[in-house]
Amino acid sequence: TNRTLFLRPEQSPVFALPYSRARQALDEVDASTERKFQRDMKVAQQLRRQAAKLNNIGINSGSDLLTVKTKQLNLRAEKLEEAAAPAHREKSAGAIKLANRGTHAKVLITLDDAAVETPDGTPLFRTGKRHICQGDRIVLLGRNGVGKSRFVTLIRNAIVEPDTVPNVKVTPSTVLGYSDQALSGISGDDTPLMLVSRRYDVGEQRARSLLAGAGVVIEMQEKKIGALSGGQKARLMMLALRLANPNFYLLDEPTNHLDIDGQEALEAELLAHQASCVLASHDRSFIRAIGNRFWLIEKRRLTEVEDPEDFFRSVAEGAG
């Protein structure tokens, strides 16, 4: 044959070429589309990072001009993101989808020099005056042991038990989606079907459909969660997060158990929903793709930095 049609949901390209050459031509088109998408998304992230910094300064200074500038930058980023089209991807093990319940609050969390400590009360660092705003995707940078996970726990406690954590103020409309390294949000004694149908009050058929869509196949849905692979548990945890319908995510090493397809799907969902989140991760490509603000913890201080590259270099030099 001298004509080849590739069936795809969004658009079915046709080439006046035999299959092998058409496949090569299609791959080249996809690669070009993906490069443009990545460029556009990178520019959009830079705009949002600039907006987030101006927003934080504007809140502290009460500057109306900075507020207007922030809105302009976010609007430019939004237009880029809406127009950007990723290259087609073949269907993977299961779709990872997240939700983003809206909130009208501009500032979700205010940190007023809060103290971060170990469980036995040993001081780790203080936060300084910080704001976590709607649309922020804050990546925590720092070497092992500086207190990243303890900081995540501090914010979680402040959301789950309002007014119990000194110097941390949480907007009442904040709804938390939380995942830690151990995936403790899902019990090993439950089955995936029990977890989804009971916790989120959905019928059995709907629960089975949701699980299958997340990559938990039918034959695993009634086995104990403890029997699932790390990747299946991670996908189940992401499904549980979506069904909780949060507007703010706390993610501690969210890519630890995900395969490459799962990581890319999580990245795409966080970006597409403009999810507000604070996360800790060792995955550099994930950090670069997701973050629009970066908080560095070192020498018992938390400071905001422009990007993660200096930190990455210091870690590499220390390892060398």
Q: Are residues 124 and 257 in the same domain?
A: yes
Q: Decide if 62 is inside a domain.
A: yes
- Tell me which residue of 159, 170, 166 sits closest to 114, measured CA to CA: 166
**From CA 69, how far away is CA 112, in angstroms rounded?**
25
pLDDT given at position 320: 55
Q: Are residues 166 and 26 in the same domain?
A: no
3-state class (DSSP) for residue 116: strand
Q: Are residues 55 and 122 in the same domain?
A: no
Q: Are residues 60 and 119 in the same domain?
A: no
Domains contained in the chain, number: 2
Q: Decide if 122 is inside a domain.
A: yes
Q: Are residues 11 and 76 in the same domain?
A: yes
pLDDT given at position 230: 79
Q: Are residues 38 and 149 in the same domain?
A: no
Q: Decide if 181 is inside a domain.
A: no
* Cα dihedral across residues 162, 113, 149, 120: positive or negative: negative
pLDDT given at position 303: 92
Provide the domain limits for residue 67.
4-83
Q: Are residues 136 and 258 in the same domain?
A: yes
- Residue the block writes with tokens 């799907």: 265
Q: Are residues 52 and 130 in the same domain?
A: no
The tokens for 158 are 């402040």
Q: Where are the alpha helices (DSSP H) in 138-229?
A: 148-160, 192-199, 204-213
Q: Decide if 208 is inside a domain.
A: no
Contact 254, 98 (CB under 8 A): no
C-alpha pair distances (Å), 24 with each of 20, 54, 77, 88, 186: 6, 45, 33, 14, 43
Query: Domain of 140: which CATH number?
Result: 3.40.50.300
Q: Decide if 44 is inside a domain.
A: yes
Q: Are residues 78 and 166 in the same domain?
A: no
Q: Decide if 255 is inside a domain.
A: yes
Q: Are residues 170 and 250 in the same domain?
A: yes
Q: Are residues 125 and 38 in the same domain?
A: no
pTM summary value: 0.66
Q: Are residues 118 and 167 in the same domain?
A: yes
Contact 300, 124 (CB under 8 A): yes
pLDDT by 10s per residue, the chain, length 320:
678 887 776 678 888 888 888 888 888 888 888 778 778 877 887 887 888 778 777 767 777 788 888 888 888 887 877 777 666 655 444 555 555 555 556 789 999 999 999 999 999 999 999 999 888 999 999 999 999 999 999 999 999 998 899 999 999 889 898 888 777 777 667 899 998 988 887 888 999 999 998 888 899 999 999 888 878 888 888 888 888 888 899 999 888 877 777 777 778 778 877 779 999 999 999 999 899 999 999 999 999 998 999 999 999 887 65
Which of 48, 68, 83 is the last residue before a domain boundary? 83
